[in-house]
Each structure stands twice: as C-alpha cells, then as structure tokens.
Structure 1
Amino acid sequence: MQRRALIACSLLAAPALRAQPAFPQRAVRIVVGYPPGQTVDVTARAYAAALQQAWGQPVVVDNRSGANGIIGAEAVKTAEADGHTLLFGTSGQMTINPAIYRRLPYDTMRDFAPVALGAASRLYLVANKALPVTNLPELVAYAKARPGRVSFGSGGTGITAHLAMEMLAARTGMELLHIPYRGSPAALTALLSGEVQLMIDAGTLLTPQIRDGHVRPLAVSSLERFAGMPEVPTVAEQGFPGFQVVTWSALFAPAATPPAVVEAINAQMQAAGRLEMVLNTVRAGGSEPRPLSTEQFADFVRSELAQWGEAARAANVTAD
C-alpha cells in the first residue's frame, strides 16, 4: 500500500516538474540604458559573455540610451516577464531617478524584480592642492568657519556626485557651494584650475589624478579602504561612522518574472562574478563584484532608494 501511494505521488508530481522548463530556452537580451563604451556597458558585456558560456544560449547586450537611463528601463518594464529580457541598471537609473523625477514612468520596486548586484564602486573626495586641508576633519573645520564659501564642482545637478556631496555636507554639518558643470571631466578641469575647491566622484576619473599628485585625496566613500590605494582613509573612520556611498550596476527583471528564474539567474551571476575575465573587467572600471542573494539585493535596493530620496529632498533637487 505504501509503495503504491509513493508511486501515485510521484506521478502527480511529474506534470508539475515538466511545467518548469529549463532556463534559458532561447537568446537572452540584456538592455543597457546608456551608450556603448560607458562603464556600465563594458561591465554588462563581460557578464553577458560569461552567462552565454554557461547557458549555451546567445546573450545579447542591447543599448537603449537616453533620458538618464529611462528609455532602457521602460523597455524592460514592459517586456515579457520570463527572464529572457533583463535590464543591466545603474544606481542612478534605479535609485536616484526615483528620488528626483516628478513623473518617472517606472517604479523600481513595483515594476522590477531585483536579480543580482554585478559591480559596486566607491567615490573619492578630493581637494585642490591650494586648499589648506589634508583630511576630512580639517576640511569640516575649515568649511564651518566659512559657510557657503567653500565650493565643489560636479558633472550636473542631481547626479550621483552632486547628491553624494550634499549627503556628506549634511552629515558633517558643512555648508558648501555647489557649481554644476557639463559632465564630470569639465568639473575636474575646474578643480585643477582652482575654479572650485572640492570634488567627489568615481575612482576611474580621480585615481589617476591622485596618483599623479594633481589633487589631494581626503576620503573614500566606502566602508573599507580601497586595497589599490590604502593610504586614503574612509569617511567613516574619520569621525562619521556608518557613512557609505556606493555606485553600482546590477541585473533587474520585469516584476512578474517567476522567482525560480530570478534565483537561477542570480546563482549564475554570482558564479560569473568569480571568473577572471569578469573580475578583471569589473576591477578595471574601479569596482568590485559583490555577491548577494536576491533577498539581500532587494533589501539593498530599498535602502538605496531611501538614502538617495533623503539626499534629494535635503538638496531640494527635482527634475521633470
């Protein structure tokens, strides 16, 4: 009797097992909301090559650039929710855009399923060498004695670098003057010429200037020092524990994508992040892979949405 019952159960379970086809069944499209050649695009292509090798199916990167990544995000939001169309999104696209746009055509947590974090990076706070400070506490004291007279440049209002500096100013009690430029390279030129005194931005832009002695590093925004530049202390260890600002790129799927598919992609992304070809590409862009489960990554995105939302409100930054 017991043997017949087990056979019956196995027969009943068989159709359910057959109803979950292997993934992927065809080519996978990874949408990048930015032009070819940008760091997020290069990172996405490294992961795409690793996933294609693992899955035995084509994995194609599709650049849908424009409107601060909004066009690419919309394309994935409305795609079939089966895992074959994914978004390689950025922190700006998925957590800063919701903080600043009054009428954004997508909601990060409602319209997407967070799949896997691909790469996370740090920002560097640097000063023009004429500014008489050598570390963050000295800067805070100097700026507090001159409210509104110490300036910082960024590549534009509402971008990561601008809001990160506003976040740091709010945490430290500094009142700084923001001067936006048309892109981070223009802001760097202004810093080097002394037109502005401070800047915070990605390592890909600033570490060559630091190594060549053109700017003075004051802090790094991650909780740990960067192994490639261990002499630069973190913001947290200079009197502001817990302060952390990171930029990142990651995979998202349309919201209704089956959880089993999302988990399978996450597992393969974590495996890909351990491959030398992916590691080399990610690190060349100043980032590191950060393996997180789907649940951990979803929690991380929620915390990022809250952090950038608070920063945008404090800086009174909005966009149409």
Structure 2
Amino acid sequence: MRTLARAAAALVLAGLTMAVAAQTTDLPHQPVRMVVTFPPGGSADAVVRMIVPRLTEKLGQQVIVDNRPGAGGNVGLSLVAKAPADGYTLGVGAAGALSANSSLYAQMPFDPLKDFQAVSGLAAIPFVLVGSPTLPAHTLKDLLALAKAQPDKFSIAHGGNGTAMHLSAALLAQMADVKLVQVPYKGSGPAALAVLAGNVQLAVVDLPAALQQIRAGKLVAYAVTSPRRLPQLPDVPTASEAGLAGYESIGWFGVVAPAGTPPAVVQRLNAEITGALNDEAIRTHMRDLGVEPMPTTPEAFEAYIRSETTKWAKVIHQANIKLD
C-alpha cells in the first residue's frame, strides 16, 4: 500500500509539474499587454493596432495596447524591463530606445542589451533626403559638392534631436565630409514644411511627409536612405547608388519581452507576430502607410539591435549629440 501511495504521489507531482510547464510555455492564459512607446496615431501605433486583432484571434486572449510615450521610448520600455518574464507584457520599441539612446543619454533606466529578450522586428521606416527646387543641384553628388565648397551654408531639417532622422542627417554629413547646419523640428511634417517655406534648404523626413510634394515637383528627392529603392519612388536612387557608397539609415521598431522570458513563449509569440506581418493584406496596408514589414527571428532581431547600437554609438560620439 505504501508503495502504491508513493507511486500515486509521484504521478500527481509529475502531473502538477507538467501542468506548470504547460502554463509557462503555452501562452496565453490571460490578456497580453503590448506597451507601445509612442503616442496614438503614429506609424508604430498604427502598425501595432493593425496586427492586434489577428494576434488576439491566434492567441485566444485579448491583446491590449498600452501607449506609454516619453523620453525617446525610455518611459515605456522601463515598465517592460521591470515586468515579470512570463510573456504577458511586451514592449514595442524603436531604434532610439533599443539602440541609440544608450549613447544619447548619460543615464538609462534599463540596459537595452541585457534587460530585454528580442521577439521580432515589426517594421522599417525609410527616409528620403529632400531639398528645395531652387537649389542649383540636381543630383546627390552635385548637392554634396556644393555643400563641401560652402561649409555651414546649407541647413538640413530633421524630425527632432536624437531621432532616427537626426542621426541619418548626421551620418550623411560624416560620410560625405560636409558641414551642414542641423535644424530640429517636431516631426517629419514640420521639417518638410520648413523646406517648402524656404526656412531651410534640405531635410531628412519619412516618406508620408514628403511623397505628395515630391510628386508635385515642390520638393526634390535626392536619395532614399534605405538599402533598396522604394516602390513609391522607383526613380529615386538610394544614397549608396547616388554616390555615397555604403550609406544606409532607416527607422525601425520591433517587439521585445523582459529578459528571462521562456524560449518556448518567445517562439510562440514570434510565430504569431511574424505570421501577421506576412499576411498580404497587412503588408499592403503597412506599405500604404510608408512602412516596410520587418518580420525576423528572435535571434536575427537581437543581432540587429546589437549592430545598430554599435553603429549609432560611433555616429553620436563623432557628432557630439547629447540629450541630457
């Protein structure tokens, strides 16, 4: 009888262990919170809300969007870094908070490379270098030659200090060895309008802010910052094609979880997120917004974050950019 009792107890214990393991790896058993480090209405928020219905359906639990903007994404991601590593709290962070901010801020509330587990990329945002039609330069080579001959004469607008557009402009100046006056604005729209108004000669902006004016001939598109040409502007070369070999700079954002999240949970989340990003209707809708779907494996996204951190640290140090 004692032997049978011990065997029964062992079976019960094994069953409980398997149940706990199943709860740990088989998401979900409660709603999943996605902390979006941007305010409602922007590209990142729009993409997240685009995939949330599918994630809710596939996971069988409500996926809740929690917008927590501030400090270049540091506010929202600090909440994620402190959350339980169970897969029920995820963060949607961008190039700033996940790579550049560690070089821009003297103090960070988290370590982007240690406090998070990469889940998947979400989207890439290509930028375009635009200028006034009054400039006596029709190509990027002509423009850079003009800027080199007249240091600090030309102003270049961007979407704000420390943003991916600012860093793109800084990288352009460094690689071309030209001196441009950097002028921050509150977003791509105001930066593009500054060129139209004649307040600055150049700007690095996202595609939606400039596409209509480029097509109308009110802005000149010198180059796109992405590694490939954009379908919306097939005749506009990449900066690398146009004479600045090796230049590449895009905005991007993706999903992370707290460090220590079980691998099986990460893989399940990755499968559902990449499945949504590979849905043709969602891909088309994203491209209509001017963003490119960016599904990745967790390993590839982690490697990308590390490479971007190294890349932008060099640019930020050379340009002496600080946010505090």
TM-score, normalised by the number of residues in structure 1? 0.92
The within-5 A match list for 1:1-320 is: 18=19, 19-21=21-23, 22-320=26-324
Of residues 154-163 and 111-120 in structure 1, the stretch that sits farther from structure 2 once superposed is: 154-163
Q: Which amino acid aligns with 1:150?
A: F
CA RMSD of aligned residues (A): 1.8
Q: Is the 8 A contact 1:27 1:59 kept in 2?
A: yes
CA distance in 2, matches of 1:265, 1:79: 17
Question: What SS does the aligned partner of 1:156 have?
Answer: coil
CA distance in 2, matches of 1:119, 1:153: 24
Aligned to 2:8: none
1:293 CA drift (Å): 1.2
Aligned to 1:7: none
Question: What SS does the aligned partner of 2:22 have?
Answer: coil
CA distance in 2, matches of 1:16, 1:293: 29
CA distance in 2, matches of 1:184, 1:271: 30
1:277 CA drift (Å): 4.0
Q: CA, structure 1 residues 288+187, in 2 after alignment: closer, same or farther (shift >3 Å)?
A: closer
Q: Which amino acid aligns with 1:282?
A: M
CA distance in 1, matches of 2:235, 2:204: 17
Q: Which amino acid aligns with 1:292?
A: T
CA distance in 2, matches of 1:35, 1:235: 31
State how many pairs are aligned: 310
Question: What SS does the aligned partner of 1:20 have?
Answer: helix
CA distance in 2, matches of 1:13, 1:228: 58
Gaps of 5+ in 2: 1-10
Of residues 15-24 and 74-83 in structure 1, the stretch that sits farther from structure 2 once superposed is: 15-24
User: How far does the alpha carbon of each residue in 1:252-305 deviate from its partner, in whole angstroms, 9 at most, with x for none?
Assistant: 000111122112211211111122342233212211112221111111111111
1:136 CA drift (Å): 1.0
CA distance in 2, matches of 1:23, 1:181: 42
Sequence identity, in percent?
38
Q: CA, structure 1 residues 230+13, in 2 after alignment: closer, same or farther (shift >3 Å)?
A: farther
Of residues 195-204 and 236-245 in structure 1, the stretch that sits farther from structure 2 once superposed is: 236-245
CA distance in 1, matches of 2:18, 2:286: 37
CA distance in 2, matches of 1:58, 1:89: 21
1:132 CA drift (Å): 0.9
Q: Which amino acid aligns with 2:267?
A: E
Gaps of 5+ in 1: 1-10
Of residues 57-66 and 271-280 in structure 1, the stretch that sits farther from structure 2 once superposed is: 271-280
Q: Which amino acid aligns with 1:174?
A: V
Q: Is the 8 A contact 1:42 1:281 kept in 2?
A: no
